[in-house]
């Protein structure tokens, strides 16, 4: 893949605090990205609010900012550093959400910063539950019965129609944050209230539970030239509901642009 000649300086967004036992891959992936970018001769600026990671070692990037991962702080850093590109897909949900907010507020356009890797449209397709559902339907992928809600009453109404148990998946969250499995109306109301609070756009997906199903995952990478490679596939020993219930073969066609 040819390197973009206009790229001289790149900002990498880290994942922020990591829950013990979860998402350490973001720190690893971000660290490797910094090394790879530096090997290509690019100037690397790292932003991460978590000092307790390998990523924030002073030797990992040319400059390291240990600051809150907010739009306000990011704009200050972008204004000071004037990077050519922003790599946000290695910081987990924190990086993805921040990239969307920076784009929507016109900050990336204002400072001429190119969003590298996964495009904004692809992020929205994967994270916005309604767009994700539409994408799956267009691809002919079977998905459980579901509905998108923005209030508790709509969730309860859907539950009355198809019954329990139900899975609640807030939009723009990762690791099951704000979501859960509801076995009755009381649990559903409680989870939906939390899910709407945690979702960046106040939206949750309510769908028929697949707890107890066999879970198989595929990790696939695709570049801007439509080259695809399956990194690995995993058949989880535990059924859905014991392992990561939030993911059942979440296959989505996500285009990415080359660095």
The string of pLDDT tens digits covering residues 155-175 is: 999 999 999 999 898 887 765
pLDDT for the residue numbered 255: 37
Q: Which pLDDT score, from 0 to 100, does residue 259 have?
A: 39
Q: Would the pLDDT of 209 be above 90?
A: no
What does the pLDDT read at residue 155?
Answer: 93
pLDDT of residue 182: 92
pLDDT band at 96 (very low <50, low <70, confident <90, very high): confident
Quick one: fold of 9-117?
Rossmann fold (3.40.50)
Q: What is the dihedral of CA 76, 81, 83, 88, to 10 degrees?
A: -50
Residue 49's pLDDT band, with cuts at 50, 70 and 90, is confident
Distance of alpha carbon 256 from alpha carbon 259, whole angstroms: 9
Statement: residue 248 has pLDDT above 50: no
| Res 158: pLDDT | 94
For the chain, the domains span: 9-117, 128-254
Burial of 85 (0-12, 13-18, 19+ CB in 10 A): buried
The helix/strand/coil state of 46 is strand
Phi, psi of 183 (to 5 degrees): -105, -10
**107-116, 128-137, 193-202: which range is least confident on average?**
128-137
* 251 HSE (CA, 13 A, CB side): 15
pLDDT at 253 over 50: no
Please give the average per-residue pLDDT across 109-129, as a whole number.
86
Please give the Cα distance from 203 to 201 (Å, whole number): 6
The per-residue pLDDT of the chain, averaged, comes to 83
Instruction: Report the range of poorest mean pLDDT among 172-186, 221-235, 242-256.
Output: 242-256
128-254: same fold as 9-117?
no
Q: Output the pLDDT for position 120.
A: 87
For the segment 230-246, the average pLDDT, to the nearest whole number, is 72
Segment 11-30 shows an average pLDDT of 75
Which residues touch 158 (CB under 8 Å, ≥6 apart)?
147, 149, 166, 206
57 band by pLDDT with thresholds 50, 70 and 90: confident
| CA-based nearest residue to 116, from 229, 3, 231 | 3
Confidence of residue 239 (pLDDT cuts 50, 70, 90): confident
User: For residues 67 and 78, is the Cβ–Cβ distance under 8 A?
Assistant: no
Report CA-CA distances (Å) from 83 to 71, 78, 165. 16, 7, 48
Q: Kindly tell me if the per-residue pLDDT of 20 is higher than 90.
A: no
Q: Are 146 and 205 in contact, with CB atoms under 8 Å apart? A: yes
CA-closest candidate to residue 250, choices 157, 129, 166: 129
Alpha carbon 136 to its chain's center: 17
Instruction: Count Cβ neighbours within 10 Å for each residue of 98-123 and write b for 16 or more, e otherwise.
Output: bbbebbeeebbeebebbbbbbbbebb
Give CA separation, 216 vs 141, 205, 238, 245, in Å. Answer: 15, 21, 10, 11
- The predicted structure's pLDDT at residue 252: 37
Residue pair 56/66 in contact (Cβ under 8 Å)? The answer is yes
Whole-number pLDDT of residue 254: 35
Q: Which CATH architecture fits 128-254?
A: 2-Layer Sandwich (3.30)
For range 188-202, the mean pLDDT? 90
**Between residues 222 and 36, the one the model is more confident about:** 36
Summarised one tens digit per residue, pLDDT across range 29-40 is 888 889 999 999
Across the beta sheet with 166-170, the strand order is 146-149, 204-208, 166-170, 180-182
């Amino acid at each position: 893949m040819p390197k973009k000649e206009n790229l001289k300086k790149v900002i990498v967004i880290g994942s922020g605090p990591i829950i013990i036992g979860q998402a350490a891959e973001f720190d690893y992936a971000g660290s490797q990205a910094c090394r790879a970018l530096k090997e290509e001769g690019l100037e690397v600026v790292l932003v991460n609010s978590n000092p307790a990671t390998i990523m924030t070692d002073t030797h990992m990037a040319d400059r390291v900012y240990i600051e809150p991962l907010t739009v306000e702080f990011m704009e200050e850093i972008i204004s000071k550093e004037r990077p050519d590109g922003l790599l946000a897909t290695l910081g987990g949900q924190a990086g993805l959400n921040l990239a969307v907010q920076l784009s929507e507020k016109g900050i990336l356009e204002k400072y001429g910063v190119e969003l590298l890797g996964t495009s904004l449209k692809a992020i929205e397709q994967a994270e916005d539950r309604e767009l994700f559902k539409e994408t799956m339907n267009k691809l002919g992928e079977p998905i459980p019965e579901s509905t998108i809600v923005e209030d508790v009453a709509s969730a309860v109404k859907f539950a009355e129609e198809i019954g329990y148990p139900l899975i609640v998946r807030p939009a723009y969250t990762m690791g099951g944050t704000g979501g859960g499995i509801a076995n009755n109306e009381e649990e559903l109301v409680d989870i939906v209230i939390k899910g709407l609070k945690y979702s960046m756009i106040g939206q949750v997906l309510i769908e028929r539970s697949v707890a107890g199903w066999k879970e198989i995952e595929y990790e696939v990478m695709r570049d801007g030239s439509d080259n695809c490679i399956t990194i690995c596939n995993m058949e989880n020993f535990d059924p859905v509901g014991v392992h990561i219930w939030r993911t059942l073969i979440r296959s989505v066609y996500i285009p990415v642009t080359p660095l």
